[in-house]
Amino acid sequence: MNRTNLLNDRKFLIKYITSYSVLVIIILIMGLYMYKLGIDDAKSNLFQQSYIILSQSVSNMDNAFRSMETLSIQIADNSNIIKLEKMTSTENPFYPSAKEAMQFLTSFGPSEAILPISDYYIYLPHTDYVLSSSYLNRTDLYYRLNKHYNTQYYNEWLSVLNNESSCFSFYNTQNLSPYSTSPYLYLVPLEKYTIQKNISGMICFEIDANKLYNLFLDLPLFERGFLYVVNNESNLSFSITDKSTPSLSKENIQKVIASTNEHPYFSSVTVEKEQMLITSITSSYNEWTYYLFQPEEMVFKSLISYHKIYSFITIGACIISFLVILILSKKNLAPFFKVRTQLEDTLKEHSSLQQTLFIQKQLIYQSYIARLITGQIHNMNELNYISDYLNICTSDRNFCVLYITAYYINNITHGMSSTEMLSSEEQETYHNTLRHEFREAFGWDILIYDTDITSNSFALLVGDDENLSLEDATALHAGQFLTLQEKITKNYPFCLFCGMGNRNRDLTHIWKSYQQARQAVSHATSKAPFQPYKKLHKSWKGYYYPLEFAQKLTEFITSGNEKQVQEFLHLIEYENLLERTLSPQMKLLLFSDIRSTLLKIRFSITPEIINSSEHETLLEQINTNLENSELEYQTLCDIALWMTSFYKPKQQEGNQLIRTIQEYIRNNYTDSSLCLNKISDQFGISESYFSYLFKAETKTNFSEYLEKLRMDQALVLLQTSSIPVSNLYLEVGYNNANSFRRAFKKVHGVSPKAIRDSVKENL
C-alpha cells in the first residue's frame, strides 16, 4: 500500500513539476516579449529622434526655397529686368537698362548671404545674355570665362536653361565644372511671378553644395548613412553622404524606395546587402521626399549592452525558478482532476454554443436568400441591408434566376420522386454535392435557394455584366448548364433540367425571374433540358394565374408596396393579355380569380386601417366596384392600387438634418479643417451614420460634394476677382497649392491658370 502511495506521489510530483515548468516557460516567454517591447521602444525613440531632426532640416530647406521664391518675386517685379527680358537686340537702351538692373540686384546682397547659394543670375534668352549684380555677359562668354565650364557640355547646359521642365528642380553641374565641388543649378521662371505675357527668362540660383550640406549637418548619418532626395516625379534631386558612405548605385536606391510603402514613417530595408533604416518626410512646400538612410548596425550598437544584461537576468531567473518549482511541487500535491473536468465541460458547452450559432447564421443566410428570390422584400432599406449581408455586388450587373430540378436517373421513366429510392443521408450528401457543382459551373458568387430539399430543386440567383445582351447571357448560361449536366450525368445518378427567367437589374423585381424560371423548367425535356422563359411558346388558350400569384399579390398590397404591386399587375397583363391569346371566357375566368383575391384582401381591411375621410370614400368606391362580378382589367388594377394606399406608410419629408448640414458646409467651406469628423462632432452624430444619410439625400459622397463646392467657388473667383492664382487655394479652404490645382483640373478639366488667362484675353 505504501509502495502504491509512493508511486502516486511520484506521478503527482512529475505532474506538478511539469505544470510549474510550463508556468516558468510562459514567464520566460513573457520576459522575452517584454525585452522585445523594450528594444522596440528604444528603436522607436531612436527613430523618433531621427524623424524630428530630419523634419527640422527639411523645414530649413523649405525656408530656403521660400526665401528664394521671395527674391524671385522681387526680381520679377522690377520693370528694368522685364524690359531687358523682352528686348531682342543689344541696341540702345539695352545697356542703360542693364546697368540699372544690376544696381537693383546689388541691393539683395544681404539676402544672398543667408541663402544656401553661391551665386545667382538671370538668363535672357532673347538677347542670349546673362545678367547678375556684378556682371553682364554673353551666355557663351559667361560659360567659358566666368564659370570656366567644360565647353563640351555647353549645349547641354544651354538646353537646361531653355527648358521649362528643368524649373524647380536641381541640375548637377558636376560634369561641367572643373572643380571637385560643384553647385546645383536651380531654375525659376520669371513668368511665374509676373503678369507680363511671353516672358521666357530664367532666374538661375547656384546652390552651394557646402551650404546645402550645412542645412542637414545635424542629421545622424552614423558614418555610412546618407540622405537621398527625390522630387515629386521620383527623380533624384540631390543626395548627402557621410565620410564612410560606400558608393551606391542610383538604380538600386530607386528600387529600394519603390519597394517600400509610400512615404513610410520608418522601416527597415536592404541596400546592396547592408541592412539600413529608412525614414522619410515629404515637403509641404514642393512635395520633394527626403529619405534618410542609416546603417542599422551602427544605429542600434548601443543596445548590445542591454542584451548582455538580459541574458544574465534570464539565466539567474531560470535557476531560481526551477528551485522554487521543486520546493512547491513537493509541498502541493492536491489533486486537480476536478478543475480539469470542469474545464472540459466548459469547453464542450462553448463548442456546442459555437455550433448552434453557426447553424443559426446558416438559417438566417438561407432565409435572406429566400426572401430576396421570392419577393418578400418591401422597401429599399431592407433590400440594401440584405444585399450587404449576402455580399451581393449590384454595380453594373443584371440578375436572373435559374430554376434547376435534379431527378434521380432510375426514377425518370417511372415518374417517381427522388425520395422513393434515396435515404435521407444519401439525399443530404447528393444535395450538398449538387450545390458545390452549381458553384463550380456558374461561379462562386451565386446565391442558391433550396426550394425543395426532398426533391432536389434549386433556384440560383446569377449575376452577369449589364452590357451582355439577353441572347448572349442565355447562350452563356445554356453552355454552362449543358457542361454541368454532362458532368453530373457522368459522375452521379442524376439528370438535370433547367429553366431560365428573364434578367432584371432591380433586385426588388427578381421574384419575376423566379416565377418565369419555374414556369420554364416545366417545359424542359430530355432533348431540350435547358429552357429559357423568353423562348417559350405561349400560344395556348389557358390563362396563367397560379396560386403563388394570388399569394404574392396579397403580400404586396398588404405591405403597402405600390411599386411592386404595379410591377406585378404588369406581369399578369404581360403573361395573359400580351403573350397569350385568351378567349373572352378565359379572360372572364382570369379576372374572376383576380377579383376573388382582391375580395379576400378587402375583408382584411379593418376600421383601424381607415384613418381619414378620404380612405372612407375610397373604401366605398372599392366596395361598389367589387360588387360587379364582370370587371375590366384596368378596374381591377385601380382597385389593387387603391387598397395598397391603405397600407402604404406615410412618406417622410426630406432629411432636414442633411439640409441643415449642407447650409453649414456652404457657409464654412473655406475652413481647411472642415472634414467628416468635424461635422459629426458639430451635429452630434456618428461619422458612419452621417455618411449614410448624406449619400442617401444628396446621391453623392461628402468628400465629393465638398470638393465640387470649393471648385465651383474657385471658378467664380478666377472669373470675377483679381486674387493671384498662386494664393487662390487659401480662399477655398485648401492648405496645399498642388492639391488645389489637381482637384481643380479633375473637376473642370483645365488648370486655374488657363481659366485666368482666358479671362484676361477676353478683357
What would the pLDDT profile of 204-242 be if each residue is shown by its tens digit? 999 988 888 888 888 888 888 889 898 888 888 888 888
Exposure letters 260-276 (e unless 16+ CB within 10 A, then b): eeeeeebeebebeeeeb
Q: Would you give the distance in Å from CA 131 to the centre of its chain? A: 52
DSSP notation for 156-215: HHHHHHT-GGGBTSEEE-TTT-SSSS-PEEEEEEGGGG-S-SS---EEEEEE-HHHHHHH
Nearest to 66 by CA among 184, 183, 188, 196: 188
Q: Is the pLDDT of residue 468 over 70?
A: yes
Q: Which residues are registered as beta bridge partners of 280?
A: 291
Place of cell 391569346: 581
How far CA 593 is from CA of 63, 463, 572, 601, 685, in Å, comes to: 85, 34, 12, 13, 51
Q: How is 501-561 classified by DSSP, letter by letter?
A: PPPBSSGGGHHHHHHHHHHHHTT--SS--EEEGGG-----SS----HHHHHHHHHHHHTT-
Rounded to an integer, the average pLDDT of 339-362 is 66
| pLDDT tens-digit map of 111-141 | 677 888 988 999 999 899 999 988 899 999 8
The string of pLDDT tens digits covering residues 329-346 is 566 554 544 555 566 666
Of 7-11, 258-262, 350-354, 549-553, which has the strongest mean pLDDT? 549-553
Cα–Cα distances (Å) from 470 to 21, 446, 500, 517, in that order, read 70, 18, 11, 15
Residue 341: what pLDDT? Answer: 57
Task: Give dist(CA 652, CA 61) in Å, integer.
Answer: 58
- How confident is the model at residue 305, as a pLDDT? 64
Q: Are the beta carbons of 239 and 221 closer than 8 angstroms?
A: no
Distances (CA, A) of 199 to 166, 551, 635, 716, 753: 16, 80, 79, 27, 15
**Is 253 in contact with 235 (CB distance < 8 Å)?**
no
Range with the lowest mean pLDDT among 107-116, 123-132, 277-286, 301-310? 301-310
**Is the confidence at residue 9, as pLDDT, over 60?**
no
Q: Are the beta carbons of 228 and 253 closer than 8 angstroms? A: yes
Q: Length of the chain, please? A: 763
Stronger pLDDT, 207 or 419, i.e. the higher one? 207
Q: How many other CB atoms are found less than 10 A from the CB of residue 151? A: 12
Nearest to 598 by CA among 564, 565, 576: 565
User: For residue 101, is pLDDT > 50?
Assistant: yes
pLDDT at 292 over 70: yes
**pLDDT tens digits, residue range 532-546?**
988 776 655 677 787
* Rounded Cα gap, residues 553 and 430, in angstroms: 35
- Confidence band for 12, pLDDT divided at 50, 70 and 90: low
In the three-class reduction of DSSP (H, G, I as helix; E, B as strand; rest coil), residue 495 is classed as: strand
Return left, alpha or beta for 733; rule: phi > 0 is left, psi -120 to 50 is alpha, else beta. Answer: left
The reported pLDDT for the residue numbered 187 is 93
Q: Is the model's pLDDT at 560 over the cut of 90?
A: no
Considering only residues 648 and 279, tell me which one the structure prediction assigns the higher pLDDT. Answer: 279
171-197 confidence digits (pLDDT tens) = 888 888 887 778 999 999 988 888 888
- The predicted pLDDT at position 130 comes to 94
Query: What region does 286 belong to: left with phi over 0, alpha with psi -120 to 50, or beta?
Result: alpha
Is the pTM above the cut of 0.85? no
Question: What pLDDT, on the 0 to 100 scale, is given for residue 122?
Answer: 93
For residue 453, name the pLDDT band (cuts at 50, 70, 90): low
| Mean pLDDT score across all residues of the chain | 81
CA-nearest of 534, 523, 514 to 473 is 534
